[in-house]
């Protein structure tokens, strides 16, 4: 989704961005066969590299993509879990990776440099698809999975405030001491994050009311402590339900649509046009509630993203065990 930074060292990140660190990866060794898709193994003889960003949902999506390619006959190199959006994106642009599931809002705002999101999700996809062609990236049709930003509050605390929308939060924030928030560093500074949200909703939170921390800690702080009344969350995160949080409605439609869609290195797709047909039925199944369910298996239950992806594909009949 958005540019989510990892804990990689500066040196490691520099290697990634120059391409020197993008040669490594692990071959997918799963013995999988076609199920409802990949019949006839149309990718037999192909050698493909899949990548992803370094958060649970995108790793799961990268594993899903890799396993589909593997079942369809390809030799697959797994280079998922790269630090941040830029590393994974640049790998596909340069052809050092062939494909990833990326997000339309990230492309429009972060990669293509537009300040204003497109409200309609289909139109958001279309303008990204059309503009990114010039960068050697082909976007296939998107899912309805929308991993956008939100603010959330614990149901326990919300019993007092009864907040439902960001406009409700803005009204409460007129009391300088009433609203404290926990956010990631990037959300605290990005135009499509806290600064832009405050401007849109007429908020002016004092700096002392804003705490910056790792995304995973935010959920715990909002749920279990009084250090912040609200916290930045992602709408597909499984911890929202597990930690009993109420998500604020973005009633002024500030946050961009972050619909997941396959982003393919154009030269790869020209060589292997079958990729579009292979991924289409999988992408159609990806919804926000499904993402919450799959993400929860990793972030709440502690399961491995690869196994979560594989189990889901087998359950849906897309692939079979070899």
Tell which phi-psi region holds residue 34, choosing left (phi > 0), alpha (psi between -120 and 50) or beta.
beta
Structure tokens at 156: 């326990």
Structure tokens at 316: 């849906």
Q: For residue 192, what pLDDT is reported?
A: 77
Q: Is the dihedral of CA 268, 271, 274, 276 positive or negative?
A: positive
pLDDT in tens, 301-311: 999 999 999 99
Determine how many CB atoms are found less than 10 A away from the CB of residue 276: 15
Structure tokens at 53: 């960003």
CA atoms in the 13 A half-sphere facing the CB of 258: 23
Q: What are phi and psi of 236, to 5 degrees?
A: -100, 5
Per-residue pLDDT of the chain (322 residues; tens, 9 = 90+): 444 333 233 333 333 333 334 446 899 999 999 999 999 999 999 999 999 999 999 999 999 999 999 999 999 999 999 998 999 999 999 999 999 999 999 999 899 999 888 999 999 999 999 999 999 999 999 999 999 999 999 999 999 999 999 999 999 999 999 999 999 998 998 777 899 999 999 999 999 999 999 988 999 999 998 889 999 999 999 999 999 999 999 999 999 899 999 999 999 999 999 999 999 999 999 999 999 999 999 999 999 999 999 999 999 999 999 8
H helices present in the chain, as ranges: 10-18, 56-71, 84-93, 104-106, 121-132, 155-161, 166-172, 185-189, 194-201, 215-224, 239-242, 266-271, 274-285, 288-299, 305-315
Asked if residue 62 lies in contact with residue 31, where contact means CB atoms within 8 angstroms, the answer is no
């Amino acid at each position: 989704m958005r540019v989510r930074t990892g804990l990689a060292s500066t040196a490691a990140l520099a290697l990634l961005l120059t391409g020197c660190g993008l040669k490594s990866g692990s071959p997918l060794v799963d013995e999988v066969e076609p199920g409802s898709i990949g019949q006839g193994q149309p990718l037999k003889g192909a050698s493909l590299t899949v990548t992803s960003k370094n958060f649970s949902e995108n790793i799961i999506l990268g594993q899903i993509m890799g396993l589909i390619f593997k079942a369809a006959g390809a030799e697959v190199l797994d280079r998922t879990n790269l630090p941040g959006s830029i590393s994974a994106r640049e790998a596909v642009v340069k052809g050092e990776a062939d494909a990833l599931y990326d997000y339309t809002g990230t492309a429009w705002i972060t990669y293509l440099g537009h300040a204003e999101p497109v409200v309609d999700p289909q139109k958001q996809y279309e303008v990204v698809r059309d503009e990114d062609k010039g960068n050697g990236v082909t976007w296939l049709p998107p899912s309805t999975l929308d991993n956008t930003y939100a603010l959330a509050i614990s149901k326990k605390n919300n019993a007092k405030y009864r907040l439902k929308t960001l406009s409700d939060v803005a009204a409460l924030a007129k009391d300088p001491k009433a609203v404290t928030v926990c956010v990631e560093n990037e959300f605290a500074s990005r135009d499509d994050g806290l600064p832009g949200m405050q401007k849109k909703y007429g908020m002016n939170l004092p700096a002392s009311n804003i705490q910056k921390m790792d995304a995973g800690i935010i959920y715990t702080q909002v749920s279990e402590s009084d250090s912040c009344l609200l916290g930045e969350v992602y709408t597909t995160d499984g911890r929202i339900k597990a930690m009993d949080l109420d998500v604020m409605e973005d009633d002024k439609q500030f946050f961009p649509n972050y619909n997941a869609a396959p982003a393919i290195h154009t030269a790869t797709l020209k060589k292997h046009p079958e990729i579009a047909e292979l991924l289409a039925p999988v992408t159609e199944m990806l919804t926000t509630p499904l993402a919450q369910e799959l993400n929860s298996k990793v972030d709440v239950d502690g399961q491995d993203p690869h196994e979560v992806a594989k189990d889901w594909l087998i359950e849906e009949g897309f692939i079979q065990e070899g």
